[in-house]
Every structure is written in structure tokens, then in C-alpha cells.
Structure 1
Amino acid sequence: MIVAFSVSPSGADSVDADGGMSEAVAAAVRVVRASGVTHQTTAMFTYLEGDWDEVMAVVRDATDAVAALAPRVSLVLKADIRPGFDGQLAAKVERIESHLR
């Protein structure tokens, strides 16, 4: 299973001094990195790969980390559920790259 998720704080109390949300987002990314789940973080989403329970636990914990810093939280989640396939976070990209060579 691959999950793409984005969690962000809402509310005036959650905005950094520079007008961004990087402190709260960093709290979520810290949870992801500590989880041991295969992951990739981009400017817009974090991707996780693993089984349902471990991936959803990381999403929950990352959301809770943001919620600790903000009065309201927004969560966007997209999942590719394909039992029996592992290593697809990298393999999907490699298949595209092979067509571009």
C-alpha cells in the first residue's frame, strides 16, 4: 500500500513568524522519519509504503503532532491499495523513467 498524505494546521495560532506553517509540518515529518516506515517527503505530500495498520498509524500520529500545535488540522490522503506488491514507491517511478530513456 502506498499512501500520499498532507497534513497542515489551520488557525492564526498555527502560523510561523514568517507566515508559513513549517514548524507544524516539521512536527509531522519528524513522526514519519521516526516511524521506520518507507517514506518520501516532497514539497506538497509525504508518501508512505507499508501495510494498512502501520501506514495509517503513522498518518494518525503525524496528524496528532500537528494538532498539538494548532486549533484545527486539515488532512488530505490518497491511497493505492495493491496487495502483494512491495517496493512500489521506487518501482513506479523507475517504470516511468524507463520509458523516458
Structure 2
Amino acid sequence: MLLAFSVAPSGTPTGGARPDDASVHDAVAAAVKIVRESGLPHQTDSMFTTIEGDWDDVFDVVKRATEAVGQFGSRVSLVIKADIRPGYTGELKAKVERLEQALSDGSRTVS
């Protein structure tokens, strides 16, 4: 499974957050740290973190990352999108490689 998620605090700042700081980078860093420590294949961009693994492992990481972000606000917003394809691994990179191959294929046009 590939699972992309975005998690952010909202509500009244708690924990280490400053009341006048609208940035959520510290909270996101806490979530990404959980992902990196999990050992699962992952990739983080400006909007989402994508994790690859089996159902239980992936959702355990998302749960722990969400709990870490919860330390920064009275509420947490969580967005999840999953690609569940049993029997496939290595798709975090393979899907992008297939896309790049399709884009570089001279017989196809992109408009």
C-alpha cells in the first residue's frame, strides 16, 4: 500500500507552539520524525508525506504521527489518500519511473 497523508494542528496552540506563530513546521517535523524512524519507505514533499508498507504498519505510523502533532494544538486535521494494490512493493519509486518513461517516450505527446 502507498498512503499519502497530511497532518496539521489547529485550534488553540499547546505544547511547544507559540500563540503568535501561525506556522506548523514544528508540528510537521514531529510527524515526519515518526515516519523517518519507522524504517518504512517514504517521501515527503511540501504538501504530503507518502509511506509504503502493509496496512497495519502504515496506519500505525500515521496514528503515531497524528498523536505527535496533537501536542501542538487542541485539534488535528488529517488528510489521507491510499493506493491499495496487494502483491506490489517498491511502488513509491516505480510509479514515478513509469510516469517518467511515459513522458520520455517519443511516440506519445503531452499537451
Alignment TM class, shorter chain as reference = over 0.9
1:37 and 2:40 matched: yes
Quote the Cα distance in structure 2 between the aligned partners of 1:26 and 1:57: 17
Quote the Cα distance in structure 2 between the aligned partners of 1:32 and 1:70: 20
Equivalent of residue 65 in structure 1, options 62, 65, 68: 68
Equivalent of residue 49 in structure 2, options 35, 39, 46: 46
Residue in 1 that maps onto 2:78: 75
Which 5+ residue runs of structure 2 have no aligned equivalent?
105-111
Query: Once the two structures are aligned, what percentage of the paired residues are identical?
Result: 57
1:11 alignment partner AA: G
Higher helix share: 1
Quote the Cα distance in structure 1 between the aligned partners of 2:21 and 2:58: 32
- After TM superposition, the score normalised by the length of structure 1 is 0.94
In terms of Rg, which structure is larger?
Answer: 2
- After TM superposition, the score normalised by the length of structure 2 is 0.86
1:27 alignment partner AA: A
Q: How far off is 1:70 after superposition?
A: 1.4
Which 5+ residue runs of structure 1 have no aligned equivalent?
none
Residue in 2 that maps onto 1:4: 4
Query: Segments of 4+ in structure 1 off by > 2 A?
Result: 14-19
Matched residue count? 101
